């Protein structure tokens, strides 16, 4: 990785700042490239998730698998946890946990789908797979798609 910088005298800074701000505001944001596997969440068994986890450790050079589920039919959003910040999203594709998702409930409900990561959970001796929502797929008024983390 490389880094670059520049120096500006204090007397010139306001003009440079205005030019930088003008350029940044006039440039459309680049859509984030997201690579996800289109796979029905209901088909991810505990054995498959354990097998995927054996590919770790996951990190910057080895990201964990990311999956995509389209939004189909009715989307039901229920509170999760004591503080009201998290939600459980039930849709035709399965049930997903959206940590911090309460603030985005309207976007989740109207989204085109979402990316998620499977996570093993053991509760009272029973293994199950939880689907953790990672981002939602949205469309702007012009029909362009993007993601909202």
The number of residues making up the chain comes to 149
Task: Give the mean pLDDT of 20-26.
Answer: 88
Residues 39-72 have pLDDT tens digits of 889 899 999 999 999 999 998 889 899 999 988 8
Q: Rounded distance, CA 131 to CA 140, Å? A: 26
Terminal-to-terminal C-alpha distance of the chain? 25
d(CA 94, CA 72): 10
Give the confidence band of 144 by pLDDT, cuts at 50, 70, 90.
low
Q: Which of 44-48, 85-89, 95-99, 105-109 is least confident?
A: 105-109
The C-alpha atoms of residue 107 and residue 116 are separated, in whole angstroms, by 16
Q: Which one has a higher pLDDT value, 82 or 140?
A: 82
Which is more confidently placed, 121 or 139? 121
C-alpha to C-alpha distances, 95 to 32, 36, 54, nearest whole angstrom: 25, 18, 24
Domains and CATH numbers, the chain: 33-148 (2.40.50.460)
Query: Strands 126-139, 145-148: parallel, antiparallel or unpaired by DSSP?
Result: antiparallel
- With a cut of 60, say whether residue 147 has pLDDT above it: no
Number of helices (H), then strands (E), in the chain: 3, 8
């Amino acid at each position: 990785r490389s880094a670059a910088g520049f120096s500006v005298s204090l007397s010139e800074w306001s003009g440079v700042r205005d030019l930088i701000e003008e350029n940044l505001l006039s440039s459309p944001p680049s859509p984030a490239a997201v690579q996800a596997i289109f796979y029905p969440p209901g088909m991810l068994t505990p054995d498959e998730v354990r097998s995927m986890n054996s590919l770790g450790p996951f990190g910057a050079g080895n990201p964990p698998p990311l999956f995509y589920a389209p939004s189909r039919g009715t989307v039901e959003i229920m509170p999760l946890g004591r503080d009201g910040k998290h939600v459980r999203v039930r849709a035709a594709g399965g049930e997903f946990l959206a940590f911090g998702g309460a603030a985005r409930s309207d976007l989740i409900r109207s989204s085109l789908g979402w990316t998620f990561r499977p996570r093993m959970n053991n509760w009272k001796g029973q293994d199950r797979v939880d689907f953790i929502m990672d981002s939602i797929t949205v469309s702007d008024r012009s029909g362009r798609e993007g993601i909202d983390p």
